[in-house]
Structure 1
Amino acid sequence: MTFLLLSGWILSTTPAMASNFADVFEGAKKARAEGRFGEAEQRYREALTISPDNADVLLHLGIVLGILERHEEALAVLSRGIANAPDYIDLHIAVARIKGWMGRLDEAEADINYILSIDPGNTAALELRRQQAAYRDQDEDRIWRLDIGYDQSRFNRVSRKDWHEANIQITVGSKQTQGHLRAERSRRFGETDTYVRTGAAHRLNGDLGGYINLGATPAASFLPRWKVETGADYRLRDGGDFLGPTIIKLDLAQKNYASGDIRNIDPGLQQYLFNGRTWLTGRWINTYDLTPSKRLPGWSLRADWQALDSLRLFGGIASAAETESGASVTTLSRYAGAILDVTSGLGLNFAFTRDNRKAAYIRDVFSGGLSLRF
């Protein structure tokens, strides 16, 4: 009797659930068609609660997330769909399209080739190949960016005038390769130094990238006379929804002061979480004061959270050597800040840092800046 009642309940609820799913799914598609992408995302996620492994819902949700420029999250959703429906060609096309939006054109081309190996006449894949070829030829992913910043430092435990530092940087290039020119003007100890730097960054593919910076301070009083920086990062794994991409990093630097050279060898690890909305970065810092042949070990931890599509919050703590006028002393730093995209072309950033320099002083740093993108 109980079995019959349960069977009747299941049969009676199944049509209602199917009807509810259809209503939610159609509502999501309507919201997307009308450009209400935030609402569309919510409705697609509601549809997933009714049908968790539905490949059509995962496809449409991934596309909406891509339109919202939450690319890593979009790829994770589409990968979930492919795991459930590996032969669903539209999922593979969506992955290739989003990788193209991210500038990972070589990976996108490989995905398109895979699709055409299965379905040589697929019109969507052929059109996507044409579009991405035109994208390469026209170099539409050019980057022009101007960053301006200002820092003011106030001291506790010692009687010292505030430090004032201003910087300006212009960056030009593409999503794969960028070059920049930067100038920093610092006022400390009644002296003024101007540091000038140029550098370049390049991504060999979607997993591997690197950079190099060269800088100098003419007639330096307290800043390094010259500095060389280089580094690389490599994505170990793509991950999924909760535990996303894992990236290893290595940063190297050498600075020359009148008193001698300082060298840094700093490996690190970056882990994305929660569909790419949060990421943690840790570094093992190794500072070598080459004059007395002394190593000063340290570490740093930082957390970033994409609270909104236009707002990122960050904070961190570090215990590492800070070099001032050629002298390196272990300093405990705590900081927090925010990056706000006011429009697609204007961004603002704010930060507060407290440095506790061992047996010396406490320094509070107030930072602000703006970014203009062209």
Structure 2
Amino acid sequence: MRIDLRLPSKSGWPALVLLGGLLLSPLTSAPAMGAVPSVSRETLLQLRADGEFEQALEVVDALLAKTPDDADLLLIKGQILAFLGDDRSALETLAEAARLAPDYLDIRLMQARVHGYAERHDAALAVLRSAVTPEVARFDAQLLLGRTALAAREPEVARDAFARAAVLEPDSGDAWLGLGDVARSEGVINVAQLNYERALVVPETAPVARERLDTLAAEQRRFELSTDLSFSRFNDDSDDWREGGISLAWRIDDSRQLTGGLAVANRYGSTDIQAAVVWNGRLDARSGYFLGAAVTPAANFLPSWKLRGGLDRELFDLTGRVGRLGIGVGFVEGSLADYEDGLVQGFDLGLVQYGWEGRVWLTAKAGGSFGTNGSFDPNYGLRLDWQLTPDSRVFGGFGQSYDNSTQGMGTTDSYFVGLDHWLTDRLGVALSLALEDRDNGVRQTTVALGFRVRF
């Protein structure tokens, strides 16, 4: 009697599901299982189905003590270890299973899945290249090869594998989704749309296909128009501040964006109008940069001109190693501004740590500015963003900085919270509240409201 290697239909493993489905097909070509009492085998499978992986591990170890050369049991143990997050032990166990049964395809597939779970896509692809040849007539194997190759940025390998999967099971929407993803990654939008529409008619894949089509439509909207208004009140007799702005961002492609805008600020009984432009670009898959410039004709309190620039780079990836943390991105920014009484130079160093599959990220930065009198004024900040849903994000944080503007109020401690929400796929709204405590005892309370339109 074969062991059923299908995964339990129990939620709780979103990262594993993202690998492209961990369902293993029945072992039609698997080595026969050793002589294990039915009750023990049934207990093992039931514990695994119930998600009781610690107990399942104890049972499979007991069974392996009786039949240590059973490749089926070693495969299940490797699978359970992967569920428990111990990918190193899982790979060691699967390597032993592969030694005993070198032609056992399910072992190779599980090895690839463990590598993929830890986002070692190149290692996963290396396992699959030799195991899943074009002659392998298994839908799940070709599908996994396609998804792994796509994650490893090998679109040609992915396209061929998805095409073979579509031939094997033409009524399955998963292969069409994969072909659509490959075309989308290569910028062939009409082909991507065609394949997503094929997946849309399959009930099992229709929700994902609809989401892909909506995302595809959103990506074709190259422009985003933003407007914002803010109102500040002080706890002394200072006049209220009123500010507003409008900007237009043009996403040229996936690696370049140009943004220009105008801002109007009324402070200290005077009004400044500032024009700014920012260029964002990617150097490669892990690095990016930005350059910005702003001018304020006849400035009263803002700098008459300001130049900015920055670099960011992915520094490390903690996925699968430290809890639910993911990649860490470091950044450095610098600025030079011309105020009425001289130049002010500033810089910031920081780190953005992502976690929980990219739904949460923490930004920490520190730096300072060199004032016109030669003094150094430090600053720091900490901000947490949480993507509650694909359309809603909340954020909050605190920091300290120095107000270098003419008539500025010196060092400020700030605290802020906010909400960013897309009302539709084209219209978004943002709301924030900030408190700033000045070192002269004055508190500033600011409410800001913004809207965004994509087209």
Q: TM-score, normalised by structure 2?
A: 0.60
The aligned counterpart of 1:11 is: 41
The aligned counterpart of 1:195 is: 274
Within-5 A mapping of 1:233-312: 233-240=312-319, 242-289=324-371, 291-312=372-393
Q: Partners of 2:390 and 2:180 in 1: how far apart?
A: 30
Which of 119, 137, 157 pairs up with 1:79?
Answer: 119
Within-5 A mapping of 1:160-239: 160-173=238-251, 174-239=253-318
The aligned counterpart of 2:146 is: 93
Return the offset for 1:240.
1.3
CA shift digits 1:184-206 (9 cap, x unpaired): 00111211110000121001222
Name the aligned partner's letter for residue 119 of structure 2. S
Which of 363, 370, 374 pairs up with 2:451?
Answer: 370
Q: Partners of 2:389 and 2:183 in 1: how far apart?
A: 34
Paired residues of 1:142 and 1:175 also in contact (CA < 8 A): no
User: Secondary structure of 1:222's match?
Assistant: coil
Return the offset for 1:343.
1.3
Measured at CA, do residues 96 and 186 of structure 1 come closer, stay the same or move farther in structure 2, by a change above 3 Å? farther
Name which one, 1 or 2, has greater alpha-carbon Rg: 2
Q: Partners of 2:48 and 2:318 in 1: how far apart?
A: 32
Q: Partners of 1:326 and 1:76 in 2: how far apart?
A: 56
Q: Partners of 2:358 and 2:285 in 1: how far apart?
A: 16
Measured at CA, do residues 160 and 205 of structure 1 come closer, stay the same or move farther in structure 2, by a change above 3 Å? same
Return the offset for 1:310.
1.4
Name the aligned partner's letter for residue 185 of structure 1. V
Cα RMSD after superposing both structures: 3.8
Measured at CA, do residues 202 and 20 of structure 1 come closer, stay the same or move farther in structure 2, by a change above 3 Å? same
Paired residues of 1:81 and 1:91 also in contact (CA < 8 A): no
Paired residues of 2:228 and 2:244 also in contact (CA < 8 A): yes
Paired residues of 2:437 and 2:443 also in contact (CA < 8 A): yes
CA shift digits 1:4-33 (9 cap, x unpaired): xx9553233356578889xxxxxxxxxxxx
User: Secondary structure of 2:155's match?
Assistant: helix
Within-5 A mapping of 1:8-87: 9-14=39-44, 52=83, 77=117, 79=119, 86-87=127-128
Paired residues of 1:142 and 1:172 also in contact (CA < 8 A): no
Name the aligned partner's letter for residue 312 of structure 2. D
Return the offset for 1:52.
3.0
Return the offset for 1:324.
2.8
Q: Partners of 1:76 and 1:253 in 2: how far apart?
A: 41
Q: Which moved more, 1:191-200 or 1:10-19?
A: 10-19
The aligned counterpart of 2:59 is: none
Paired residues of 2:149 and 2:158 also in contact (CA < 8 A): no
User: Secondary structure of 1:201's match?
Assistant: strand
Paired residues of 1:217 and 1:223 also in contact (CA < 8 A): yes
User: Secondary structure of 1:324's match?
Assistant: coil
Within-5 A mapping of 1:292-371: 292-325=373-406, 327=408, 329-371=410-452
User: Secondary structure of 2:373's match?
Assistant: coil
Return the offset for 1:322.
2.1
Return the structure number with greater relative CO, CA threshold 8 A, min gap 6.
Answer: 1
Paired residues of 1:209 and 1:233 also in contact (CA < 8 A): yes
The aligned counterpart of 1:32 is: none
CA shift digits 1:66-90 (9 cap, x unpaired): xxxxxxxxx9758378877842664
Q: Partners of 2:453 and 2:80 in 1: how far apart?
A: 41
Q: Partners of 2:234 and 2:116 in 1: how far apart?
A: 46
The aligned counterpart of 2:233 is: 154
Name the aligned partner's letter for residue 368 of structure 1. L
Paired residues of 2:147 and 2:158 also in contact (CA < 8 A): no
1:135 equivalent to 2:188? Answer yes
Paired residues of 1:285 and 1:320 also in contact (CA < 8 A): no
CA shift digits 1:288-310 (9 cap, x unpaired): 11x21110112111111111221
Within-5 A mapping of 1:117-128: none
Paired residues of 2:230 and 2:447 also in contact (CA < 8 A): yes
User: Secondary structure of 1:11's match?
Assistant: helix
* Percentage of pairs with the same residue: 25
